[in-house]
Structure 1
């Protein structure tokens, strides 16, 4: 997120219709990413859990929007202390329609809606690690508590002008720490509490609908241009470089993942292509405004190979990250955030060049601070919250319910209705068929 400086009302710039339209469109693009994530995750699970995965993303649109309106935006972006914002914008009150956000010329309410979409998708990302085995009520309570205790403060740390990481010049253009490391660490924390799926490392748990995965990946890739370029908040050259780097890094990461997959497993898979693209999107997110296109190309290749290698760690360390949230989002976010310390050109952020551009190790140290602080805070909070929920109401469904399928148990629905397809026909159909058959026999006899 481009750093902003709050100005006095008397000095506030006039609203800029071009920037406002740009950010409204970017917010809409980011909103599309949550349904895209739902399809991406929904296709990756077994058929008996497909609807549940869709719902675990869609419910975030409801819960987080309400919390953001009540207090989330105020806690994240109102002036306060280094840890959390104040209460001046609780209920989205005291924000005039013509009040601009900093020097962007964009109304504060438009900025709030853009940031809301980030707040929505971040807890939804966690859901992929918990496929097949958690109660929908427990999940809903968890994301409400986690957003309040973790996401809103961390967004303030990283993006608010008075956030303690922002003051220490930790760079995160669009969410490598606040979104991806934050969500990935939380996913790891929860799965350490709730344990593995029945049949983990024993039963096949292949994706049930790869075309749905590819559709979801395409929607994510499309929406990510708003995610990254929109984080400049203004339609200018920096937004252009963020847009360019997003495309370049994603393409490179997809190729890197596929090459690794071919060398390691002997095949180029559609799941690998989709996963590699998402890994590239994750890695370029914090760095898209501070690296060159060639830097984005290198970063994408490293992220594609690095995340492809990381997803297999769950088998070595015996933790069940169902859809590789840790391996892609946490690891990809770490790669992208730390890469800034090497690849930052210092053009957009003067005095914050990386090692490869003569800036020394200062910026790398700052990036390590940001990565460590967010990862540690989110991991610990997620473990505590998941444990409390598990003790009080239970986080997991029962073994029998998991085997039956959480779609039927929790939602009383199934993703695909096969009634009448290859099944028994109605009594009238059978009767009519019998009469038709008898008639045919009579004709033949005649």
Structure 2
């Protein structure tokens, strides 16, 4: 999925920024893998450190020393966290979620960010934003999952909302490009990247059942059907708005369908997944042309696709998810209200902490390239390479 995202983003930017944009996604495999091994997994799935409510401890973050350097992470299952697969397999599977989240953010400030500043950012983001959210949502005693009862099957909240709001913070802090108008460098890269993402998402969503079972099969089905529905909705909605049907539009629609289904993939039916894809495509398509977002210069519309898509997915999950007592239709307004409170809280947390990281980091490592470097392109100015 991460190389797929690299191609997807790389094809969208101008030719003089193709390599730099692709590398920003690809390098996340290196940076986050190291951070996750040393301390990230421990922060996400270590014993909870948090607050006590009614005699129960609910985690805000994990013990940073418990699984440092994958200590005690071995081939045996973990009785409460990963009882169906080897614990080390679970740790590596979760690592891939951590890898792709900051890679998603890169699209918001593409074509104008210094590479070294970005590398520092993703390491810090993994520790201060991703790991706490991962712990609160997916640890058995996490505050969001265990206390508020919020469902996130495969990362709608943990991955897409956090990345979407961080993207908005990045676009706002780093500022607009000198030249916002360019032709995509390679439409075939976009289509190839979309295919890799779509295929990889089966592992992302179906794999989150941690078993080859009925839940995995349902997640597999809802994932591809939501994506297909969103793709077709996107292209026909474009046509209804007087725009041509484009390959890039079809690809963006497909990815939005994948985003919106992610939090609910194993909790809903196939007809409901079609509704998810339809609504997600319409809302994200409208967000794409919102005047507020255009003023921010979110280069590849990451917030409109991943942020808005993740938010829509979380809201629909709060309405339709089928486990007993877990959604509006299966538990009433109280659980729906809990989801909405968490939605606001996670959005504010992701945006504020990410903006603070950009602000503080910029004091030590200038994040934006010089005007002349932006003009010549980041491929040459940052890496001395050309596509």
- Counterpart CA distance in 2 for 1:136 and 1:41 is 16
Deviation of the 1:208 alpha carbon: 1.3
Q: Gaps (5+ residues) in structure 2?
A: 50-58
Structure 1 residue 97: Cα displacement: 2.5
Q: 2:48 touches 2:141 (CA, 8 Å); kept in 1?
A: yes
Contact 2:175 2:297 in 1 (8 A): yes
Q: 2:334 aligns with which of 357, 362, 377?
A: 362
Q: Judging changes above 3 Å, is the alpha-carbon distance between structure 1 residues 71 and 238 closer, same or farther for their aligned structure 2 residues? A: same
Cα distance change of structure 1 residues 77 and 209 upon mapping to structure 2, 3 Å threshold:
same
Query: Which of residues 59, 68, 74 is equivalent to 2:36?
Result: 68
Q: Larger Rg: 1 or 2?
A: 1
Structure 2 counterpart SS, 1:268: coil
Tell me, in whole angstroms, the C-alpha distance in 2 between the residues paired with 1:128 and 1:91: 30
The answer for the alignment partner of 2:3 in structure 1 is: 35
Instruction: Say whether the 8 Å CA contact 2:43–2:62 is kept in structure 1.
Output: yes
CA deviations 1:193-221 (Å, max 9, x no partner) are: 11000023xxx322111011000000000
Stretches of structure 1 that go unaligned for 5 or more consecutive residues are 1-32, 416-446
Contact 2:153 2:205 in 1 (8 A): yes
Shift in Å at residue 350 of structure 1?
1.7
**Residues of 2 paired with 1:295 and 1:138: CA distance?**
42
- 3-state DSSP class of the match of 1:265? coil
1:218 equivalent in structure 2: 195
Secondary structure in 1 matching 2:189 = helix
Distance apart, 1:317 and its partner CA: 5.3
CA offset digits 1:326-361 (Å, max 9, x no partner): 0000000000000012222x2xx2222433xx5322
- Residue-pair matches, total: 375
Aligned mates of 1:276, 1:95 — CA distance in 2: 39
1:279-428 to 2 correspondences below 5 Å: 279-313=256-290, 318-344=295-321, 346=322, 349-355=323-329, 359-415=331-387
What is the CA distance between 1:315 and its match in structure 2?
5.9
SS at match of 1:128: helix
**Counterpart among 262, 270, 273 of residue 239 in structure 2:** 262
Query: Structure 2: how far apart are the matches of 1:326 and 1:129?
Result: 8
Aligned residue among 70, 73, 78 for 1:95: 73
Cα 1:148–1:234 shift into 2, 3 Å: same
Q: CA deviation at 1:374?
A: 1.6
1:113-124 correspondence to structure 2 within 5 Å: 113-124=92-103
**1:234 to partner: Cα distance:** 1.2
Question: Structure 1 length normalisation: TM-score?
Answer: 0.82
**Distance apart, 1:369 and its partner CA:** 2.4
Aligned to 1:192: 172
- CA deviation map 1:115-146 (0-9, x unaligned): 00000000000001111100000000011111
CA separation of 1:286 and 1:392: change in aligned 2, threshold 3 A? same
Residue aligned with 1:284, SS = helix
Structure 1: distance between partners of 2:34 and 2:262: 26
Q: Which runs of 4+ in 1 moved over 6 A?
A: none
> Cα RMSD (Å) of the superposition?
1.3
Q: Would the aligned equivalents of 1:340 and 1:364 in 2 still touch at CA under 8 Å?
A: no
Shift of 1:88: 1.1
CA deviation vs aligned residue, 1:288-312 (integer Å, no higher than 9, x gap) = 1111111100110001111111111
2:135 — aligned with what?
156
Aligned to 1:132: 111
Query: How far did 1:316 drift?
Result: 6.0
